[in-house]
Amino acid sequence: MIRIAIDGPGGAGKSSVAKSVSKALGIIYVDTGALYRNIGLFMLDQGIDPKNAEAVTAALDEITIELKFENGKQVILLNGVDRGEDIRTPEASMAASAVSAIPSVRNYLLEMQRNTAKNNSVIMDGRDIGTVILPGAEVKIFLTASAKARAERRYKELISKGNNVTLDQVYSEMVERDRNDSTRDVAPCVKAKDAILLDNSKMSEAETVAAILKIVKKKTKDTTPLYSFLKVIVSPVYRLIFNVHVKGKENIPKNGGVLLCPNHIGAIDVISIGTVCPRQITCIAKKELFSVPVLGRLVKALGAVKIDRGGADVGAIKAAVSAIESGKTVVIFPQGHRFPEVDPATTPIRHGAGLIAYHAKSDVIPVCINIKKGKYSLFRRTDIIYGRPIKYEELGFKEGGREEYAKATEMIFSETVKLGDFSSLPAYDPANERQNKRKKRK
């Protein structure tokens, strides 16, 4: 998942710009200011002074706010009613500024906002998103403009909606709100230390959107120089030698963390997947690989996660979850071991995929490696098929636990197997596998 925080003073165009960015990236837009505007409007409706912290706090028990997303669009219901443009008046704006300075109001909305970002890729705009709401956001931008430029924008917006206001009035209220928002004790409107400052005083909305998309692309780029070099130099040669073809590449999201779950045929599976994946992959690799000369150093340099297959490797699981949460593409083989030349549907699987998906709240993409006769060979066609993303909500998690992890992994791997044609391969026979191992030892 990817989380983008846009902070800044009123009138900088945060909301309209964030909406356009969310549409371009295909992620959810959360207008946090609208939440405070609804609370401020409720206080005005009830005749309560929005600056009276005690009265506002007491009235919170009478409010229910429901945040919904319909076709990617945010809808806020205040006591069951969408107040629409009522929250955009100058009076509602000033009331929102007043109530947002009250700790009880901020606490009332805090978990709602964080939970939304925890379960979805989002872009949020407000006054303290990068400093308080989402301090761990992958991208933080402080969007600002001169008070004069912001007042002129807001004035044109209000006039177009039929509001009877003057430019001087809007400018005066803008300056007052800036002072209130930046000097209040609770969650003031200030730039996060790691946020990028973007002044759009002389920029159009389209230019601002383009600038933010450029920042997002740069901040979320997950390809290292070494990986890029190998992709450009080695990948074409490898794909030619092993006749690698790809299907369903469009199913890989452009950004945000995701878990890939392929079947396991040979030691070079990761290379096959990586050569045709549009994003850099982070593989969960057995610890033995890291001790192999040259290969071990290469695997480590490419950011692989080391795992001990002999037991529950909590550290590796946490590293994989962290990688997904930071927006990376992680690969784990549910089978755990390589099973060439047998029908993968008949092989045993481990349940780490379900465990990781649960804790990372991640979508999962089944990946099928389909090779005629089930074994790598020079110039024999190799198909890498990326399946339809399985949404986190489809995995059936409720409280977590081994049974849920197992069921989720079985569901994921069944989708992986469906992508290929393994009808000509024999079923897995554990007795034969043990016999083969004994022969090798002899």
Please give the order of strands across the beta sheet that includes 329-331: 244-247, 382-386, 364-371, 258-262, 329-331, 281-286, 305-307
Q: Answer yes or no: is pLDDT of 438 > 90.
A: no
Q: Which DSSP state fits 288?
A: G
DSSP-H helix ranges across 120-249: 147-160, 167-183, 205-219, 225-241
Structure confidence at residue 309 (pLDDT): 58
Full DSSP string of 348-408: ---SHHHHHHHHHT--EEEEEEEEGGGS--TT--EEEEE---B-GGGG--SS--HHHHHHH
| Ramachandran sector of residue 247 (left: φ over 0; alpha: ψ -120 to 50; beta: rest) | beta
pLDDT digits over 320-372, tens only?
888 887 778 999 999 988 899 999 999 999 999 999 999 988 999 999 999 98
Strand partners, 390: 364
- The pLDDT > 70 percentage for the chain reads 91
Mean pLDDT value across residues 158-170 = 89
Rounded to an integer, what is the distance from CA 210 to the centroid of its chain?
A: 20
pLDDT digits over 298-328, tens only?
666 666 777 665 555 677 788 888 888 777 8
How many other C-beta atoms are found inside a 10 Å radius of the C-beta of residue 8? 27
Structure confidence at residue 328 (pLDDT): 84
Task: Report residue 238: phi and psi, to 5°.
Answer: -60, -45
> What is the pTM for the complete model shown?
0.56
Structure confidence at residue 442 (pLDDT): 42
Q: What angle do CA 62, 67, 68 make, to 5 degrees?
A: 140
Q: Distance between CA atoms of 433 and 205, rounded to whole angstroms?
A: 63
Greater model confidence, 25 or 256: 25
Task: Report residue 358: phi and psi, to 5°.
Answer: -65, -50
User: To the nearest whole number, what is the mean pLDDT of the chain?
Assistant: 87
